[in-house]
Structure 1
């Protein structure tokens, strides 16, 4: 098992004082950030470097964490067919639940119609603010996405930020180690030893989480203001409610069927959820989520394959957002989409959500890519939701994180790589083992 990179809520069996618990610190930092952004918006905007800096620090360590976890995990497997089996089951899970998330967004939008009554003339909309997203969408085709997975060299992904390139390099290196396990024993031992200082760095960086959450939240409230969501409050509330119900009902049913409680899992990963809430970035919690899933009884090779892949292919929150936002724009512009057009929208979204995966601002970019292929809905309508997209990105990231945590446990159980006793112990305690 990889070393523990988090700040445990107990030391030597003793409970930490509440003010030293990470999730309490993050909660307090978020509250202070909201207050600063609301009462002193200009000062709040100046806190942006704190949030950006923290996310940059976390991204700095993501590539080594994935490379070490995946390569050492695969090297320890006696049968490489297991790797293919885990990857195959992961992709089946991702396809099913990503599609289900798209359908949920479509159904809720048809039932509640959050955009009805706005009566917007598409010709009156200013598209200058969304041009960069439209341009990025043109470059996010499925072919470009697949080709972009291939790195320039085997080691170059370790200096980049493309998660799938790191994953590919780690898988290839792990396979090479597995096929030459006797001759490569010194390399495997070295990588295992290297994991200790790398995960120690993660522990150090996580101590900065409250500062990052404070800066990101102060900037968001200071720049966009709470008032910016009033006019589109129904859309925001509908999206948050739908995402919450998807996690509790849909993912809850999956969790129940597989023998664990979704509420206990959410409590177990509360540090990561609060970090994502504060920074609006699910990547900020990736290293510690991988560690927690492994400590919850999921095999290292499953964690190493499912979570990094899920960050690009299992974006439940983003998928709910895409169909819901597209139909909101159509309803706001009084465009009546037929069932056939909505099915086309759904199919296009299934592809575009993969094509822009892993790109900064992926939610908005995938929406632009989808609308560009569905002529009935004007791309200019994206300007209607630009002002509240930052607030909706938090729900997207939270749902994506919860979805990937559930996927890891389910795939591990399917492949008989789950220690169910350890899972029950971890979820029962609600915190990572010390």
Structure 2
């Protein structure tokens, strides 16, 4: 019994259940529990930038070959573009097939104020966004948790350290020790995961209420179904190419998925997933490059949601999109979806910028999605983190930077004595 009570997965599940019950029956009290979720996410954010920096620097310095660093980065970006485009097309096809917005009158749906989102969406400058990737102040990038900026600085630092050769070995050893310190801090912070999940789920249900799901239940169901199919068909096929079981991977990271579900934030599991991927056989260099870059460029769940939300609003407002217009939407979302993690309230801002560019769907329609957006953010975040996990495993295998023995040990499929003789 004690073993079950001490199990993090069990405690997070209990916390999520309590959060739903408190949010439903005591909404006023539940809305006040938001600081618990925010506190946990802030504690995780506190260690994300240093962990990413140390992981990337140590990965590049251990890799040694700078051409290999460029090759891995290039493969990762190509993979991200192909897979997110597949996600985008799947979202649009299923939204056109199921038609979740058909028969719904915009006037019958309760909306909210989206003026802040629409203003930011209309003013979104993508040239500035890509320029923003390179930090003008490295310390500021760490202080503000700008993951892409930290990634760029870390790669350059790793390259500089590698060029020092043997003279940089003492610094590498110091970074190894620092890396272990930060992961030890993370292990302590993770003990508060149930409180974070409780606060996040209670706030969501108490603030928005389960009743808000009913008018848009068809959209929610369609989005969840599409993400489920994407994970268990597309991502499953990607892993099967290298004989890796998706189901085993999901069981291996189940605690992180539950935390993401409870907090509605993929950031809350980012460092833990990086650590687990290393432990299951992916090289540190691949993990360090793919996971942080994927956080902004491989948002499969967000891409599916953006495509389906756009088609949904077109159906609600009886806008009959032509094939050319839908292809235009795909093209625009291929660009705008890549910046979805770089801005606060990113989902609505990116969607607003897309609708503004299309000029055929009322941007004000975003208000109709406010009620269910928080409930769909869990699915987006979970799909995003699974997508980046699969991307890392795929690229590690492709680069022959994957230790299958470590994977089997992590999955518990072989005993230690069997591992010594295992051939693959």
Give the shorter-chain TM-score range. over 0.9
* Counterpart position of 2:12: 26
Partner of 2:141: 157
Paired with 2:52 and 2:78, the residues of 1 have a C-alpha distance of: 22
SS in 2 for 1:118: coil
Correspondence for 1:233: 217
Partner of 1:318: 302
Shift in Å at residue 196 of structure 1?
Answer: 1.8
In the alignment, is the contact (CA less than 8 A) between 1:140 and 1:355 conserved in 2? no
Taking structure 1 as reference, are residues 427 and 358 closer, same or farther at Cα in structure 2, changes over 3 Å only? farther
**Aligned position for 1:201:** 185
Comparing 33-42 and 256-265, the one that deviates more: 256-265
The answer to whether the aligner puts 1:59 opposite 2:45 as a matched pair is yes
Alpha-carbon distance in structure 2 between the residues aligned to 1:50 and 1:186: 40
Structure 1-normalised TM-score?
A: 0.92
- Report the Cα offset of residue 233 of structure 1: 0.4
Deviations 1:18-74 (A, max 9, x none): 111111110000000110001000000000010011111111110000000001111
Of 348, 357, 375, the residue aligned with 2:332 is: 348
Distance 1:120-1:156 versus aligned 2 partners, 3 A rule? closer
Where does structure 2 lack aligned partners over 5 or more consecutive residues?
415-424
- 2:392 paired residue among 402, 405, 408: 408
Say yes or no: does 1:423 pair with 2:388. no
Structure 2 SS opposite 1:418: coil
Gaps of 5+ in 1: 1-14
CA 1:413–1:140: 2 relative to 1, 3 Å: farther
Matched, 1:169 2:153: yes
Instruction: Give 1:262's aligned residue.
Output: 246
Q: Are the counterparts in 2 of residues 264 and 428 from structure 1 also a CA contact under 8 Å? A: no
2: CA distance, partners of 1:16 / 1:407: 37
Q: SS of the residue aligned with 1:207?
A: helix
- Classify 1:356/1:238 alpha carbon distance in 2 versus 1 (closer, same or farther; 3 Å): closer
SS of 1:129 mapped into structure 2? coil
Q: CA RMSD in A?
A: 1.7
TM-score normalised to the size of structure 2?
0.95
1:180 counterpart = 2:164? yes
Cα displacement (A) at 1:361: 2.3
Q: CA deviation at 1:367?
A: 1.0
Pairing partner for 1:80 from 66, 71, 83:
66
Q: Distance in 1 between matches of 2:398 and 2:264?
A: 31
Report how far residue 428 of structure 1 moved.
4.2
SS at structure 1 position matched to 2:361: coil
Residue 94 of structure 2 corresponds to which residue in structure 1? 108
Once the two structures are superposed, residues 95-144 of structure 1 have per-residue CA deviations (whole angstroms, 9 ceiling, x without a partner) of 000000000110001100000001336xx999861111122324543211
Say if 2:52 and 2:288, in contact at 8 Å, map to a contact too.
yes
Higher helix share: 2
